[in-house]
């Protein structure tokens, strides 16, 4: 079945460091891909998305590119801030009708000043 694999956390960085969180997926066809973020004590919120191959989603300095050839959607940010400390979830939505999202297990990011 469809699945999402994220790099294991936790990830600890210093402020202004470069961030990459790897995400790969298994699905037939062309799923839509998402990154959600969960701040402490809150629900998830959409960070960015891409709905077709080679699309780049971006928001708040974060970027991810839909790579069909490597079935990947890695999250990157050039310079992280303390306020980026959160858990990041990669997710896919299968092509063709279902509203169901399949989530990865999440990667906890801590940014130290």
Partner 1 sequence: DAGVIQSPRHEVTEMGQEVTLRCKPISGHDYLFWYRQTMMRGLELLIYFNNNVPIDDSGMPEDRFSAKMPNASFSTLKIQPSEPRDSAVYFCASSLGGLSYEQYFGPGTRLTVT
Cβ nearer to partner 1, comparing 69 with 99: 99
Q: Applying CB under 8 A, does 46 fall inside the site for partner 1?
A: yes
- Which lies closer to partner 1 via its Cβ, residue 2 or residue 17? 2
List the x/- string, 51-90, binding to partner 1 by CB under 8 A: x-------------------------------------x-
Assess contact for 69 and 98: CB atoms under 8 A: no
Q: Is 20 in the site for partner 1 (CB under 8 A)?
A: no
100, 33 Cβ separation under 8 angstroms: no
Q: Report if residue 5 touches partner 1, rule: CB under 8 A.
A: no
CA angle 31-33-37, nearest 5°?
Answer: 155
| CB distance 81 to 92 below 8 Å | no
């Amino acid at each position: 079945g469809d699945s999402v694999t994220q790099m294991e956390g936790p990830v600890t960085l210093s402020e202004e460091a470069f961030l990459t969180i790897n995400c790969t997926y298994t699905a037939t066809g062309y799923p839509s891909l998402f990154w959600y973020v969960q701040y402490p004590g809150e629900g998830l919120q959409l960070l960015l998305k891409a709905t077709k191959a080679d699309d780049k989603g971006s928001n708040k300095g974060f970027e991810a590119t839909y790579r069909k050839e490597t079935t990947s959607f890695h999250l990157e940010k050039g310079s992280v801030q303390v306020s980026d400390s959160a858990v990041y979830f990669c997710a896919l939505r299968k092509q063709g009708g279902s509203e169901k999202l399949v989530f990865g297990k999440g990667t906890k990011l801590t940014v130290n000043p």
